[in-house]
Amino acid sequence: MDPERAHGFAYHAIRLLPILGIGSVVSRFTRPDPVLATRALGLSFPSPFGLAAGFDKEARIIRGLGQLGFGHVEVGTITALEQPGNPQPRLFRLIADRAVINRMGFNNAGAKAASGELRVARRRSHRPVIGVNIGKSRVVDLDAAAADYHESARLLASYADYLVINISSPNTPGLRALHDLDRLQPVIDAVRSEAGSVPLLVKISPDVTDEDARELGAFAVSSGLDGVIATNTTIGRSGLRTPEAVVEAAGAGGLSGRPLAARSIEVLRLLRASVPADFCIISVGGVETAADVQRRLDAGATLVQGYTGFLYRGPFWAHSINRGLARIRRSH
């Protein structure tokens, strides 16, 4: 089945879990073991493992995802303006690599629509921690990025448990230029003016140099951010098992999944060496098993996220990881 169509089927099935009452039954088996409870960003997480941004762009299935065992769900990326994203096809599986290439382009219904969904989600009991990931609208020039992010924050911050400034998708032209600290600071200031006490993080690219990763970590601390998410997808294509012709046919876009793991953990270690021990780092990229998650935690991650593994491992992926993590914790 076409990957985007398959995602649509899965999305609607998860949305039905709480509506049909199935989710409450499922959650009895998927609820994380209390030994996994984690404190970060001033929040209580039932598990250190959560779902990265990209799966629920419309903030419509937060409760269902929580019932599948994710300790937190990061929705988005959401933009101030509604946008359709890039032309289809725009999502491609590299099965031999347990990887995906996407050039979705922040397709979403916009911040105003998402705010209504988030308002409802916040009222629900037994919900996961909700992260809200915001990005630049495609039609907005880079010079006007701060105002665009400000509008998203104005509409969404009050419904977020934590808020993320996404500057690292390779699928919005010019977005990664915001890794330049002089360009990034006005965006942070604009978002913070609306975020208030909501924890504020920035999501960075794996394609930065080692030195840039260190500088970004130090900057995040000095600018008063509450954390860094490392990393987004990569534009690199080295070391893949998938035939080169198949990779070339997929075309441009961000690569996620197992091939990203090595660089993701490298950036995690660079950041951890550049920030205080209690500074929050959320590690994401190439995580598929409980052992992978524990390896990130041992390397200094505060929390860990996954996404591509969900596509390959199926609906009880989070439960499997939580169960494995609990075994690891209890064996120590």
- Alpha-carbon distance of 258 to 233, in angstroms, equals 11
Residues 169, 205, 256, 264: which is the catalytic one? 169
**Sign (positive/negative) of CA torsion 297, 131, 145, 226?**
negative
Q: Which residues are annotated binding-site positions for FMN?
A: 53-57, 77, 133, 166, 203, 231, 257, 286, 307-308
Residues 48, 116: Cα–Cα separation, whole Å = 27
CA dist., res. 189 & res. 209, Å (int) = 25
Q: Could you tell me which residues are annotated as the binding site for substrate?
A: 57, 102-106, 166, 171, 232-233
Contact (CB, 8 A) for 229 and 201: yes
| Sequence-separated (6 or more) residues with CB below 8 Å from residue 9 | 1
CB-based contact 175:141 (threshold 8 Å): no
Specify whether 223 is catalytic.
no
Buried-state track 32-47, b at ≥16 Cβ within 10 A, e below 16: beeebebebbebebbb
Between the two ends of the chain, the Cα-to-Cα distance in Å is 43
Catalytic residue set = 169
